[in-house]
A and B are shown apart, each in its own frame.
Chain A
């Protein structure tokens, strides 16, 4: 099936909310309103019946629940999942079985996150992190990528939430930056507060992975907004020869940097403004 001018893209959202609306708004404005339409505003509303009526040639699933619903329905249509964490990709891949499927991750590549640490905190070379069962496989690649940049990473794997604080204290003992890795066991609504309080008391700044994390008290983060992901998704759709030949999953192409200036000042850390860090990070990315 050729992705001609008439090819239509159906959007399925996990739920209604500002982040999903932000995605839809940007995606449709780039792809064109006539070429895209909202198939289901909530994952629960998605069904084979709506699909038959609308006949999209590609489904863009926005969020985890949308992706799960679409892949489980086994529609026979190619699927692009967006706003999904990289850690969840194998789970989605297994649901996809033989379906044409790809994703744009919500999280940033390790190289980019480490690049930001080097640019923003050049004097700090000892990183600490915690991983859970889901993210344990990330530790070794992180340590290797860090070593290439002259950074050392002390990491521990925890098996249950009760181990979190003792493990955190141990890794912080010899660290000057804490790099938060998205993992449902390590960082969730319950643990965000204790991690931020404990690291702050140890005067170890946290490098987060989202804007919300920086607002909550992390020192800085590189992250992508739903609109930035939408831009990339729209460009991917426009550039495709055929929807059946989907590219490999991708990391975000467009991103932003957030700095919590209050936390920086309180911890006595001199840090460049967000715009400067972003430009330098882009330049670094272009070189690598």
Chain B
């Protein structure tokens, strides 16, 4: 299903065939999405989505939702373009053994601290309705790396494929709760 959806999305982006879109800067997209989130928040109110409001209030709600959804719909094509570009660049990066996607990707960026040390942050999110514990794999740029969780406790890990610069994190120390997350920090050993 994902492949079909991706193919369809790609066809949308074909010049002359698909929809026309203008890339939207992230900051303005962020602002618009934040506004939609807040409007959607108001809609969960017990006199909104319930339908127990007065007619003029309903009209106001519809106006708010329509405006913000229209902005979000304008963002979606740009999102699809980014996804497609990302997939292509990611594949290219793997094939050429180059550092994949220095600006954004599945590779967490390295941060240089004031003392000169470097670290990367990876967030592991569990979208399931139950806790989960399993081995995860994160692409890294440094092979010599020490991984700790957000409590500072070391997480056992090993490099699975140094050629591709993959870090294979195994035996995650703690379960990730449902709909929750934990943060890993990798620092140069």
Q: Do A and B belong to a common assembly?
A: no
